[in-house]
Amino acid sequence: MAKRRRGVAVLTVAAVAGAGVAAGVFLTRGTPGDADASSAAAPTTSPAPLGDESGFEDVSPTPTASIGPDPDTGQTVATDAPDVVTTSEVPVTITWFGYDPASEQVQLAGFVGGVVEDGGVCTLTLTRGGTAVRGDKDAVADASTTSCGELDVAGSKLSPGTWQAVLSYTSAGHTGTSETVDVEVTT
């Protein structure tokens, strides 16, 4: 008889827990180890947008703070026209850049539009006054572009101040250069 009572008790607890989960009744307040788990839940805050205190600036052509419009509800989804390359000159786009004080380096990422190929090289060139410092990386064919990925230059090679950064691309059949952006180095 004791085995049957335990089985009934387990089934009862499981049924109550299942009903509670299905009804959404199980709510928690705080997490284990909170100093004051009985107080009302603290409001959540969103992380600071890229570019505020991080030292990085998001220059991607589409907003990254949200997932965007919902075509299922009838909202219009914006699409960029594809880059069509008819010459050896290709468009190069910087997607984000900045100085990371934690790793003490300038970091920059970008891509090459209009061509999908391996074998090219992306180059980050930082200039200030008469000084130029470079970082190179092999480019990689992506779904619809050629990705430069993240390039970096050690802060030990740079003096504090504003540096001009440009991303360039060179392959056997294509070349291109991005617009120049300013990067503030705070070593």
Q: How many CB atoms lie within 10 A of CB 99?
A: 22
CATH number at residue 113: 2.60.40.10
Note if the pTM is more than 0.85.
no
CB atoms < 10 A from the CB of 160, how many? 12
Number of domains in the chain: 1
Residue 51 lies in a domain: no
Residue 137 structural domain:
84-185
Helix/strand/coil (H, E, C) string of 139-152? Answer: CEECCCCEEEEEEE
Asked if the structure places residue 32 within a domain, the reply is no
Task: Report the pLDDT value the prediction gives residue 73, as an integer from 0 to 100.
Answer: 77
Beta strands in 40-118 (DSSP E): 56-58, 92-100, 105-112
Q: Within a domain: residue 177? A: yes
Does 65 reside within a domain?
no
Residue 20 domain-assigned (yes or no): no
Helix (H, G, I), strand (E, B) or coil at 4: helix
Question: According to the model, what pLDDT value does residue 10 have?
Answer: 43
CA distance 3 to 6: 5
Which pLDDT score, from 0 to 100, does residue 164 have? 98
Query: Looking at the domain assignment, is residue 24 inside a domain?
Result: no
19 inside domain = no
Neighbouring CB atoms inside 10 A of 61's CB total 8
Task: Judge whether 114 lies within some domain.
Answer: yes
Q: Digits of tens for pLDDT over the chain (187 positions)? A: 455 444 444 444 444 444 444 444 333 444 444 444 444 444 455 544 544 556 666 665 554 445 566 667 777 666 777 777 888 999 999 999 999 999 999 999 999 999 999 999 999 999 999 999 999 999 999 999 999 999 999 999 999 999 999 999 999 999 999 999 999 999 7
